[in-house]
Structure 1
Amino acid sequence: MRRGAVVISENEPPRELFIVQSGWLHASVVLGNGSRQIMRFYFQGDILGLPLLAFADSPETVTAVTDVTLCPFSRERLAALIADHPRIGALLLGLTVADRVSLADRLASVGRTSARARVGALLCDIFARMRRLGLGPDESIHLPLTQEEIGDATGLTAVHVNRMMRALVEDGIIERANNHVRLLDEKRLVAEANFIDRTAIETGWLPPAR
C-alpha cells in the first residue's frame, strides 16, 4: 500500500488484521474538535488491528506513513492458531500489556512534561524499537515523519516541534540531515525525557511450546 493509504478506518466494522512486513504506519483517533491524536507507530513485525479482537467497530484509524507491505489474516485464523499454540496466545497477551504500559508512558509524557521532553521521549522510543529490529546503537535512522505527525503524536504544533528539534540539534543531543536522525548524547536525552525502554518483555512465565 502507498503512503497515506488508510488500512483500518475508525468506527468501521473489522475486516482483517495485518502483520507489517515493511514500512511505517500510525494509529490515530479524531477528537471532538477535529484534531488528530496519533496513539502509536507501527514498524516491521508489528500486528495491526488487535483492538478489533475486542470491539465490533475499530476504535482507531491506521494509516501508512510510508509505502508498506502487509500480510493480512482473519480473526478466525488467529483464534485457530492460539488454540493450537497456547504459547503464542500468551505471548500476544504479554505484548498487548506491554503496549498498554507504553501508551500510559506516552499519556504521562504528553500530559505532564515539557515540549522538549515529549519530542525526546518519542525519539527515544523509536530508536529503542528500531534496535529490536537490528539497528546498531551508533547508527542513524531514517525518520519519515512530518513535523505535523510528530506534533499529532506529542500534542504539539508543527512549529513547536520544529523549534524543539532545532534546540536538540543546537545542544548537541541529536544530529539531523536529509530526514535522518542520529543520537549524539542518548544518555542526556533519556534523562531529559524520563524515558523507560519498554521493548523487552518477560517471557519466563509463558507456557511451553506444543
Structure 2
Amino acid sequence: MSYLIEKMSYYIELSAEEKTVLLDLESVTTQYKARTIIYHQEAQVGDIFVVREGWVATFSQLPNGNRTILNIHYPGDIVGSSSMPFEVHASGLMSITPVTLCPFPKEKLATVFRHHPNLSALLYTVSLQEKMVLVDRLKAIGRMPGKNRLMLFVLQAHARQTAFQQLDALTFDFPLSQVLIGDAIGLTTVYVNRTVRELEEEGLMSVRNREVTIFNRRRMIELCDFKDRYRQLDTTWFPGFIK
C-alpha cells in the first residue's frame, strides 16, 4: 500500500502514469529504530525521503543545546525537500517510532516537474500546506497560553491522520513523549504534564498510552482557533484544470 498515492489521490485524480512515477519514489526502503537521528542539521543534502511507515520529526538544534521540533511527518509525507536549494540541511530529521523511509535522489523530482505538471503543482501545494500548518503553530506559540498550544497541536495531528482516510475517529495514535510535545510547542516537560492533566479534568481531551482521545472537539477548536489545512485544497489553478 502506498500512503503517498493515497494522499495525492485525495486531492486530484491521478493517472496510471502519475501513480507509477510516485511508486518509483518508493522503490527503495530503509528501516530505522525509534529515536534515531537520520541526519543532522548542517549535514550534506543527499536523498529526499518518502515516509512509508511510522512517524518522523524535523528539528532544529539551538546554540544553547535546546531543541525545537519543527514538523511531525506521517506515512505519505515527503521529507527533506525544504533543503533542496541548499548544500546542507537547515534542520535535522529523527525517527519518533520505528520507521520505514524510501530514499530517492532529488533529481527524480526533476522528471516529475518536466513531464507531470498537475503532480508538480500538487507537490508544490502540499509543501505550502505544511508551511501553513507550521505558521499556525508558531502563531499559537507566540500568542496563546500553553493549554491552547497543546490543543492546537493535537487537533493538527488528528486532522492529518484522519483526512485522507476520511475518518471521524476521536481516538488516534499519538506516540510522542512529553519531552517531544514540549519541544514542539515551546513548553517545559513539567508544564506539558500539568497541562495534559488540566485538559483531562476539564473534559476536553486525554493523552494516555500513546493515544489521544478528544472529548469535546468543538470546544477545543473554539479555544485555539484551529483551522483544518488538510481537508481541502484549491486545485482549480493546476495546469490540467485550466480551460
- With structure 2 as the length reference, what TM-score do the two structures score? 0.82
5+ residue gaps, structure 1, are none
Q: Is the 8 A contact 1:11 1:59 kept in 2?
A: yes
One of 184, 195, 216 as aligned partner of 1:164: 195
SS of the aligned residue for 1:136 comes to coil
Whether the 8 Å contact between 1:9 and 1:61 is mirrored in structure 2 is yes
CA-CA distance at 1:135 after TM superposition: 6.4
Distance in 2 (alpha carbons) for counterparts of 1:7 and 1:132: 27
Aligned residue number for residue 123 of structure 1: 154
Return the letter of the residue paired with 2:105. S
Partner of 2:73: 42
1:201 aligns to 2:233 (yes or no): yes
- 119-128 or 138-147: which moved more? 138-147
1:15 aligned to which of 39, 46, 66: 46
Tell me if 1:3 matches 2:34: yes
AA aligned to 2:60 is V
User: Following superposition of structure 1 onto structure 2, how do residues 105-116 of structure 1 map, counting pairs within 5 Å?
Assistant: 105-116=136-147
The alignment partner of 1:118 has SS state of helix
Unaligned ranges ≥5, structure 2 = 1-31
SS in 2 for 1:108: helix
TM-score relative to the length of structure 1: 0.95
Count of residue correspondences: 209
1:152 to 2:174 alignment: no
Instruction: Percent identity, please.
Output: 31
2:110 to 79, 85, 94: 79
| Displacement of 1:113 | 0.5
1:30 aligned onto 2:61 = yes
Kindly state the Cα deviation for residue 92 of structure 1 after the two structures are TM-superposed. 1.4
2:82 equivalent in structure 1: 51
Let me know the Cα RMSD of the aligned residues: 1.4
Rounded to whole Å, the distance in 2 between the matches of 1:23 and 1:106 is 22
Task: Give, in whole Å, the separation in 1 of the partners of 2:73 and 2:127.
Answer: 13
Deviations for 1:8-50, whole angstroms, at most 9, x for unmatched residues? Answer: 3210111100111110011110112110010100001000101
Q: 2:171: which partner in 1? A: 140
Checking the alignment, whether the CA contact within 8 Å between 1:22 and 1:43 is kept in structure 2 is yes
- Any idea what SS the aligned residue of 2:41 has? coil
Residue of structure 2 equivalent to 1:182: 213
CA deviation digits over 1:25-80, x for unaligned, max 9? 11110112110010100001000101122211100001000001111111111111
Which amino acid is the alignment partner of residue 53 of structure 1? M
Counterpart of 1:69 in structure 2 is 100
Distance in structure 1 (CA, Å) of the matches to 2:140 and 2:87: 30
For the 8 Å contact 2:162–2:169, the answer to whether it is kept is no
Q: For 1:94, what is the secondary structure of its paired residue?
A: helix
1:128-168, CA deviations, whole angstroms, 9 ceiling, x for partnerless residues?
00112426323411211000000000000011001111111
